[in-house]
Structure 1
């Protein structure tokens, strides 16, 4: 089965790693047809194991190899397609659209935080098919109140996010 692993916190805040080396760690952990998409920690691979088992195996392998506490989320090819197809927002050159990959029910935690945060003009969030989507004006992602909430340590093992453009690139590669 084809999967994509979404690593959290890769190549930010001092956690630097080359994607070729990450792919090598995945291969050494028994994954097949391993490749990366962008430098933000999107690893496509094949395995006969289920996502829960893969999460445990790969977090352990990454933590040991890179000497950090690895958090990653495994989604099947079909689940990745759902992230792309469920996007409720129209493309707009002035806005970023993010989808959040995480544990079950993380979307409700994120929506509660979003609803309590101050918002900028054009900032919006929706849950579609159990997926949390956030639209924010370009240049405001990290400065927005919600963006700052997303960086809290107590949330770091709960989710990671990707720009909608990243999902498009992942899908092109996973389907090739």
Structure 2
């Protein structure tokens, strides 16, 4: 515990795809039963904003354990303060509303994984930038996200447990909910 309450973004990895279904109302109930306060879920892609006195490492453990128990899958989450999400979103050099491309941020609990993803993107000529030790931003043409080298790479087993990607517009919504 850190002694004071902080507002955190909880980003679930791999839900509502590949057979793992987590309804946001059920996610909210699970998080509230885990003694988290002011729980808000956002969109159907596994995003929540919570208040807690736990630090980010303890919160990550709490949420992953609760998800395993309630939904029966090997849950992985990334936890950042809402303030940090806002900083990272503000640092993205791409527009959130570009009509030709989507702007994404990939988060990772493993800085080496981000370095590997950056190398993959660079080799593919990917538009990308490192935002910090936990995040990188990149773009994909609308309609071609799943065909992009970074999207394909983050779907590989070695990245699944440590990374998750969000559209920049989603990060703005998380920040607004914080």
TM-score by length of 2: 0.90
Aligned residues: 170
Q: Does 1:99 align with 2:105?
A: yes
Q: Contact 2:8–2:51 at 8 Å: present in 1 too?
A: yes
When residues 129 and 149 of structure 1 are mapped into structure 2, their CA distance, relative to the original with a 3 A threshold, is closer
Post-superposition offset of 1:104 = 4.4
| Cα separation, 2, equivalents of 1:16 and 1:104 | 26
Q: Contact 1:32–1:46 at 8 Å: present in 2 too?
A: yes
| Cα separation, 2, equivalents of 1:104 and 1:156 | 11
Runs (5+) with no aligned partner, structure 1: none
Match of 2:131 in 1: 128
SS of 2:99 mapped into structure 1: coil
Q: Let me know the Cα RMSD of the aligned residues.
A: 1.3
Match of 1:10 in 2: 15
SS of 2:145 mapped into structure 1: coil
SS of 2:143 mapped into structure 1: coil
| Cα separation, 1, equivalents of 2:110 and 2:14 | 20
- State the Cα deviation string for residues 149-169 of structure 1 (Å, max 9, x = none): 111011101110100010111
Post-superposition offset of 1:144 = 2.0
> Which region of structure 1 is more displaced relative to structure 2, 48-57 or 123-132?
123-132
Runs (5+) with no aligned partner, structure 2: 1-5
Q: Does 1:79 align with 2:63?
A: no
Which structure 1 residue ranges, 4+ long, deviate > 2 Å from structure 2?
Answer: 128-131
